[in-house]
């Protein structure tokens, strides 16, 4: 407070001086004709002084208050507007009002100065447009082109000036620059729905860059969407005639297919595509026959079905490669009428009818990866694929419809060409190439699918493709950020304009606040800091959005982007005095250290303390928050003030461990609960928190903690056993009453050694034997004809045995209760003891060690406590007598025994 008063005292003369200037302006009603640029330069000096004295806030408030009743005050408008501009505030209405006053009075010198001052802080559509007007009025033609170029870069709707610039450079014979501006104008006229202008520029672009087919196809989709499909067809026809004239028949066919998608009854397009097929396949021996049987020229046949039929047939010719799912890759040796002969590796000179071949065989190009694997030496193909990553990627991707993900690429190369070890380093390099090489793009339907382009694409097109293929809203946020960060990507390109428009569209019309609205607002604010012109024209502000969010924590969690979350916190702090309460409500869900540091820095430690108490009291709802505070804040002052002792922290963690186990069993938020469960388990057991606590605790405290741990039903018995050992090491006299009976009744008692052995056995089956069996089945399937496939039957039988073994092992391991040797009591026969029996008929002694069914070894006189004899002698004392029939088939012949001794055994 004292510092604020001191600052106020320093700035008081400056504010007093400005107040006097405002009063003098108001009283004298100075005429606009008396103003000059020199007076504004003096105001700039005053602004610098205010910034140095940190008086911007007070100065702006003074000017804003003055504008309430004197709205055209030149001094107040300038000072308030420039302070707002320096803070990158989106609302520039004050400076626009000021400039307009001088434009209306034709004070062009001042207008120029004001526009240039605005532009000192970044590009402004209003300032650039006004500056160009100023140059016109002062008959300065030369600077206008440069101003227009700047304007077109920031005003994504300005079409006429873009067209004028294109014509300017066209006259200068600078075709490349002219084409760039024609493309900008074309996109903007499409946005305005002006087809006459669109067609005029379209013709220019076909003249100057006819090979840029990707551009024409991209624009054609926008025309169909924004204007009409009929108009899109008209323009595609122009592209088709250009392609055909240049002899690019494949491209011409692709264009005609697009036209027929819009209108399958377009007979002209049907005739043209037939003619193009004749040109492309002029050397094919069966061309006329395939045109005839596909009814390609008959208008009654659906044209798309006819094209598909024709292309399926035309792929079959002598020398073509084919694939059969049983016989693999083959090559057509001959064609005679309706019969073809195929040479497969395992089935030479195999005859087939054409109809059967069309249905049963898949045609392959000679560069298909399957053909290369079948026809080239493995060593040669291996060496080329290993060293020529780009070629290998193109080959595999083109082999499968020019759309392939890395998983599919791996399946084609490993292990048939590359080893698993080689794939690891090879795939890292492949990922780099797919991301950086302009020949590769991504499918606009699925960002995971890579494609090969006929021509290298610009970085803008590549990033735009990734944007369009983004699986969700936040993927697209990452894509536009990537675009903005790349130096070679222009923000004035139509690709960026379309991407940016995707987000501004959310803010132009909405009824209810959701995460997309909030994220769009935050993103635009984030980008407007670096590029102020991006925020112009938008009237939505974060403060209004924040007021209308019904559930702030729920919405905050839906912002699947760390930078957006941090920006949300910043904007919240700037927008409302209630930000500390909002921060407190967010932390248990967000767990962001920046929230704690902001509250601490601003002196809200009492709120942090209350939040800690609330999180530990309501640990069921705030599980992760309680864990976070224990891990990251238990040594802080405000945590100590919360009064959460070490015992309460540990008890809370045990409760969280137990409820997460239960929620996992009940399939409630399984993934989230597994993550929380793993955190707590690591803290308590792996990090030694429980062991450390027990070593420093008294008996009552140990009993409470151990009882809680022992009641966690799904905790691994081995962990309970190890904790028990720690307790006994600290206090050998510690009693665990009733533990033996409780554990025996709940499951299968086993020794620690056997428990670990069974786990190793299960792991070996799951990790080694099951995968090996899956490969055996896959290989057997590849042999075909399952009815007489002995390999397949044997592999499936083995699979059934493995599945049965795994199920049994899992069930037994789940029931297993690890025996604690410390619980052995030799007063009675029990698990872990040796019973010495006297055969009262013969007088001889017999010894039996009592363990579990896993350890049972009758030949060595180790029996299970669940066996008939084991169950009979269990819990008997020394001296007790009993009868038992060793031979089940002769149950009436029982032998009398007496317990002579009970000895503890080492297990």
Among 600, 601, 211, 241, residue whose Cα is nearest residue 611: 600
Binning pLDDT at 50, 70 and 90, where does residue 890 land? Answer: low
pLDDT above 90: residue 836: yes
pLDDT above 60: residue 861: yes
Residue 656 CB partners (closer than 8 Å, separation 6+)? 619, 623, 626, 627, 676, 680
pLDDT above 90: residue 444: no
Which secondary structure element, helix H or strand E, spans residue 124, and what is its range?
none
The CA distance from 143 to 693, in Å, is 78
The CA distance from 715 to 613, in Å, is 28
Mean pLDDT is highest, among 153-162, 174-183, 346-355, for 174-183
Handedness of CA 29, 34, 37, 41 (dihedral sign): negative
Determine contact, residues 706/727, Cβ cutoff 8 Å. Answer: yes
pLDDT above 70: residue 224: yes
Binning pLDDT at 50, 70 and 90, where does residue 2 land? Answer: very low
Q: Which pLDDT value is given to residue 132?
A: 94
Mean pLDDT is highest, among 5-14, 175-184, 691-700, for 175-184
Among 743, 804, 736, residue whose Cα is nearest residue 769: 804
Q: Which pLDDT value is given to residue 732?
A: 74
β-strands 833-839, 895-904 pairing: antiparallel
Q: Which pLDDT value is given to residue 786?
A: 56
Q: Angle, nearest 10°, between helix axes 646-665 and 699-710? A: 10
Is the pLDDT higher at 370 or at 530?
Answer: 370
The pair of structure tokens assigned to 76 is 């107040």
**Residue 629 CA, distance from chain mean position:** 28
Q: Which pLDDT value is given to residue 634?
A: 87
Binning pLDDT at 50, 70 and 90, where does residue 465 land? Answer: confident
Q: Which pLDDT value is given to residue 841?
A: 86
β-strands 440-442, 450-452 pairing: antiparallel
- Percentage of the residues of the chain whose pLDDT score is greater than 70: 94
pLDDT above 80: residue 527: yes
Is the pLDDT higher at 209 or at 156?
Answer: 209
pLDDT above 60: residue 739: no
- Letter string b/e over residues 385-424, b meaning 16 or more CB atoms within 10 A of that residue's CB: bbeebeebbbbbbbbbebbbbeebbbebbbeebbeeebbe
The CA distance from 25 to 353, in Å, is 99
The CA distance from 745 to 866, in Å, is 12
The CA distance from 661 to 676, in Å, is 10
Binning pLDDT at 50, 70 and 90, where does residue 552 land? Answer: very high
Global pTM reads: 0.61
Q: Which pLDDT value is given to residue 887?
A: 60
| Whole-number average pLDDT of the chain | 87
pLDDT above 80: residue 763: yes
CB atoms within 10 A of CB 658: 19
Q: Which pLDDT value is given to residue 157?
A: 87
Q: Which residues pair with 899 in a beta bridge?
A: 837
Binning pLDDT at 50, 70 and 90, where does residue 271 land? Answer: very high
The pair of structure tokens assigned to 759 is 């786990």
Q: Which pLDDT value is given to residue 5?
A: 40
Binning pLDDT at 50, 70 and 90, where does residue 7 land? Answer: very low
Q: Which pLDDT value is given to residue 742?
A: 44
pLDDT above 60: residue 11: no
- Percentage of the residues of the chain whose pLDDT score is greater than 90: 48
What is the separation, in whole angstroms, between the first and last Cα of the chain?
Answer: 74
pLDDT above 80: residue 26: no
Binning pLDDT at 50, 70 and 90, where does residue 782 land? Answer: low
The tens digit of pLDDT for each residue in 583-628 reads 999 999 999 999 999 998 888 999 999 999 999 999 999 999 999 9
pLDDT above 70: residue 322: yes
The CA distance from 396 to 415, in Å, is 15
């Amino acid at each position: 407070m004292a510092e604020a008063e001191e600052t106020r005292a320093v700035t008081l003369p400056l504010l007093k001086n400005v107040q006097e200037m405002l009063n003098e302006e108001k009283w004298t009603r100075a005429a606009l004709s008396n103003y000059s640029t020199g007076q504004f330069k003096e105001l700039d000096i005053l602004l610098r002084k205010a910034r140095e004295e940190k008086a911007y806030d007070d100065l702006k408030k003074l000017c804003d208050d003055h504008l309430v009743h004197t709205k055209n005050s030149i001094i107040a408008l300038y000072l308030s507007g420039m302070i707002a501009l320096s803070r990158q505030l989106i609302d520039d209405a004050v400076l626009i009002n000021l400039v307009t006053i001088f434009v209306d009075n034709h004070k062009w010198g001042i207008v120029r100065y004001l526009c240039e001052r605005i532009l000192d802080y970044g590009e402004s559509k209003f300032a650039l447009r006004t500056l160009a007007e100023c140059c016109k009025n002062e008959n300065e033609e030369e600077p206008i082109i440069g101003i227009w170029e700047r304007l077109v870069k920031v005003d994504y709707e300005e079409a006429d000036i873009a067209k004028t610039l294109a014509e300017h450079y066209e006259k200068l014979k600078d075709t490349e620059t002219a084409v760039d501006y024609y493309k900008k104008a074309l996109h903007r006229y499409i946005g305005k729905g002006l087809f006459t202008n669109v067609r005029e520029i379209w013709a220019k672009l076909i003249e100057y860059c006819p090979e840029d087919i990707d551009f024409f196809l991209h624009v054609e989709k926008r025309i169909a969407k924004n204007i009409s499909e009929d108009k899109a067809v008209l323009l595609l026809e122009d592209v088709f005639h250009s392609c055909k004239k240049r002899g690019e028949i494949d491209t011409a066919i692709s264009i005609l297919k697009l036209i027929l998608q819009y209108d399958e009854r377009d007979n002209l397009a049907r005739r043209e595509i037939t003619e193009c097929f004749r040109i492309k396949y002029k050397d094919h021996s069966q061309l006329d026959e395939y045109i005839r049987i596909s009814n390609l020229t008959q208008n009654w046949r659906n044209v798309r079905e006819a094209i598909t039929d024709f292309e399926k047939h035309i792929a079959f010719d002598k020398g073509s490669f084919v694939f059969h799912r049983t016989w693999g890759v083959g090559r057509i040796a001959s064609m005679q009428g309706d019969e073809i002969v195929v040479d497969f590796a395992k089935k030479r000179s195999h005859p087939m009818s054409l109809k059967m071949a069309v249905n049963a065989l898949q045609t392959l190009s000679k560069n298909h990866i399957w053909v290369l694997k079948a026809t080239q030496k493995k060593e040669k193909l291996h060496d080329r694929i290993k060293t020529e990553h780009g070629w290998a990627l193109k080959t595999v991707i083109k082999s499968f419809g020019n759309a392939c993900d890395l998983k599919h690429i791996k399946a084609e190369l490993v292990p048939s060409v590359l080893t698993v070890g080689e794939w690891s380093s090879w795939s890292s390099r492949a990922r780099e190439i797919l991301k950086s090489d302009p020949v590769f793009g991504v499918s606009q339907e699925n960002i995971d699918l890579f494609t090969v382009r006929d021509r290298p694409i610009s970085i803008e097109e590549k990033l735009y493709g990734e944007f369009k293929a983004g699986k969700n809203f936040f993927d697209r946020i990452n894509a536009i950020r990537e675009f903005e960060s790349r130096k070679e990507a222009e923000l004035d390109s139509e690709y960026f304009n379309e991407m940016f428009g995707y987000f501004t569209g959310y803010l132009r019309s909405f009824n209810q606040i959701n995460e997309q609205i909030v994220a769009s607002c935050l993103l635009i604010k984030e980008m407007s800091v670096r590029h102020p012109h991006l925020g112009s024209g938008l009237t939505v502000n974060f403060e209004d959005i924040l007021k209308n969010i019904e559930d702030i924590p729920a919405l905050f969690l839906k912002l699947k982007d760390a930078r957006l979350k941090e920006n949300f916190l910043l904007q919240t702090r700037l927008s409302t005095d209630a930000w500390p309460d909002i921060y407190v409500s967010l932390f248990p869900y967000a767990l962001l250290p920046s929230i704690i540091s902001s509250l601490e820095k601003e002196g809200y430690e009492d709120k942090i303390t209350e939040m800690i108490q609330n999180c530990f009291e309501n640990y069921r709802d705030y599980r992760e928050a309680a864990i976070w505070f224990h891990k990251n804040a238990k040594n802080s002052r405000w945590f100590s003030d919360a009064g959460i002792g070490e015992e309460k922290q540990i008890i809370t963690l045990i409760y969280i461990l137990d409820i997460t186990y239960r929620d996992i069993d009940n399939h409630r938020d399984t993934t989230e609960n597994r993550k929380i469960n793993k955190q707590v388990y690591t803290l308590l057991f792996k990090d030694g928190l429980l062991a450390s606590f027990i070593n420093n605790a008294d008996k009552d405290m140990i009993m409470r903690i151990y009882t809680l741990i022992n009641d966690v039903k799904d905790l691994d018995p081995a962990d309970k056993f190890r904790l028990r050992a720690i307790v006994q090491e600290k206090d050998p006299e510690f009693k665990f009453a009733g533990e033996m009976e409780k554990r025996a009744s709940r499951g299968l008692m086993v020794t620690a050694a056997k428990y670990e052995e069974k786990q190793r056995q299960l792991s070996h089956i799951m990790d080694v034997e099951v995968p090996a069996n899956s490969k055996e089945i896959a290989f057997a399937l590849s042999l075909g004809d399952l009815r007489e496939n002995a390999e397949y039957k044997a592999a499936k039988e083995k699979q059934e045995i493995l599945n049965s073994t795994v199920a049994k092992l899992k069930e037994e391991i789940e029931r297993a209760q690890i025996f604690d040797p410390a619980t052995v009591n030799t007063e009675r026969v029990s698990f872990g003891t040796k019973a010495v029996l006297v055969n009262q008929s013969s007088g001889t002694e017999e010894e039996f060690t009592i363990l579990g069914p896993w350890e049972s070894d009758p030949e060595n006189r180790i029996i299970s406590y669940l066996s008939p004899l084991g169950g009979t002698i269990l819990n008997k004392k020394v001296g007790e007598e009993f009868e038992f029939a060793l031979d089940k088939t002769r149950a009436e012949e029982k032998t009398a025994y007496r317990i002579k001794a009970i000895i503890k055994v080492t297990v």
